[in-house]
Structure 1
């Protein structure tokens, strides 16, 4: 049994990842009690004991924490700050077999953001195939579950103070740099993110003028032919609820022409903890999907 320590295992993503690792047939999760989670000496002991460390921490705590981890340890960070750092490998296996090999051999892996993951898997195939230009102005609308905002946002929505309203987020969203970098976009996308009154589930939608469904179906089928977790539909995404605790990515293509393309996924699983477990499996030489179902 290989040992994984999740620093931040009592946060929203950390709790789900902890559960996944606990139920994994070949992994053991190093656990500390909630009241000792900030005990620096105890954390260092856990870092030392672990075969792999996962950080599920606020971004302002990551750099200090890295100084506490033994230099030879392999680390996955689930925060924002290191995703564009050249010393860290972007942990999105669905970018292809070359990316999987890079993740497998990496010392440091940065887990993707949920909005960015959906955006990249939708937009990058269009750019790679020259269906759209890397200089295009890409406009997308996205609505996420309120669990993406962590414990504070969960408490706000579940207290009833939100009154079921959609909350619009800043268009200078923190995931935009990784969207641009890993899609190869030369122009900042027109990205309109929001948070809905549902707890879990992300839908990101891209309208494509002068497009044809048959062409897009062929393009995505060829791109993701061997991807076990990507499912392609030639119809409209109609609700959020079925994504609960699934690690699939669903791509929907609506209309025969001037298509509307959507990605639907769980922001808690595929958008955070599930992808982290994929990266753990790859880095430790296991089947990528082991422990996800």
Structure 2
């Protein structure tokens, strides 16, 4: 029997399934279960969560909001939905941001970051925190994801025999510029205005590449300043590494699925020859550091376990 009782509420979804698979391999956990009938009853689900040492909410936003008021305040909860990422009293689960790792040791309510949001926040939040990028800066972001980010329905669509050749090409979406990750992208970085953000889904299973261009003269920065600041901020982190300026690409290419199956994130700092333009790129797995890997990392810290236990580096 394990030392910790863990419940995954919504273990049949893409994120929940991957979390459940990771936990099943670890002897320190006893996994709590719920019957199919009770799964549709919010009070029955709350009762199981209240029995646990820690529970993952892998639910639609409304279902996550519905169950939380029924929970004991001391039960540790990790919500993978968008519902609580900017909510008062919730800790945003990106441990590498200053002060967050310590907060996670005692937190009972933790919101797991969104995948695209992680790719934007990881390079931008330190620059705002250090005063290199002003809070009023207007930034832009394009983020490429594999189709697994769209959940079961989209995975089935892409993996079925196709007559719709629209799926063969990359497809920008969220074109009303109103994506659900925007509130956290502004709140957690400290920006007063969310970035102009366009996500793109493409015909590969997993992997995310988030790209943020910087106009260096407008920001009053040099590329080396930016690269050095990020390298110092993330020095000695196990899950986030920063490549030196203009290093790390594969002969000028960077495949979005390069880190698929892994739980770490890499930041690339690329500048043009005259140093006026820069591209910051976060590369990671949308199912790893972008969701279930991040959730497991937070769980480890909340329970006082080795932060990287059960993670693929």
State TM-score, norm by structure 1.
Answer: 0.92
- What CA distance in whole angstroms lies between the structure 1 residues aligned with 2:180 and 2:46? 30
Match of 1:214 in 2: 224
Partner deviation per Cα, 1:92-141 (whole Å, 9 max, x = no partner) = 11112x21121211121111111111111111122223332211110111
RMSD between aligned residues: 2.0
- What CA distance in whole angstroms lies between the structure 2 residues aligned with 1:230 and 1:5? 28
- What CA distance in whole angstroms lies between the structure 2 residues aligned with 1:132 and 1:87? 27
Partner deviation per Cα, 1:207-250 (whole Å, 9 max, x = no partner) = 22235443232111111002111122224351023211101101
Partner deviation per Cα, 1:2-58 (whole Å, 9 max, x = no partner) = 111000011000000111111224223224466764365753453243111110001
- What CA distance in whole angstroms lies between the structure 1 residues aligned with 2:31 and 2:139? 41
Partner deviation per Cα, 1:256-279 (whole Å, 9 max, x = no partner) = 522221001000111111111111
Can you give the 5+ residue segments of structure 2 that lack an aligned partner in the other structure? Answer: none
Match of 1:266 in 2: 285
Match of 2:297 in 1: 278
- What displacement does 1:202 show? 0.7
- What CA distance in whole angstroms lies between the structure 2 residues aligned with 1:4 and 1:44? 13
Cα distance, 1:33–1:246 mapped onto 2, change above 3 Å: farther
What pairs up with 1:121-140 in 2 under 5 angstroms? 121-140=122-141
Q: Secondary structure, in 3 states, of the residue corresponding to 1:282? A: helix
Partner deviation per Cα, 1:67-86 (whole Å, 9 max, x = no partner) = 44344322111110111111
Partner deviation per Cα, 1:148-178 (whole Å, 9 max, x = no partner) = 1111111122223343122222221111111
- What CA distance in whole angstroms lies between the structure 2 residues aligned with 1:107 and 1:180? 24
Q: Bigger shift: 191-200 or 122-131?
A: 122-131
CA contact 1:248–1:270 (8 Å) conserved in 2: yes
Can you give the 5+ residue segments of structure 1 that lack an aligned partner in the other structure? Answer: none
Q: Which runs of 4+ in 1 moved over 4 A?
A: 32-36, 39-42
What pairs up with 1:210-249 in 2 under 5 angstroms? 210=216, 212-233=222-243, 234-236=247-249, 238-249=254-265
Cα distance, 1:130–1:66 mapped onto 2, change above 3 Å: closer
State TM-score, norm by structure 2.
Answer: 0.86
1:93 aligns with one of 75, 92, 95 = 95
Match of 1:109 in 2: 110
1:254 aligns with 2:254: no
CA contact 1:212–1:259 (8 Å) conserved in 2: no
CA contact 2:146–2:204 (8 Å) conserved in 1: yes
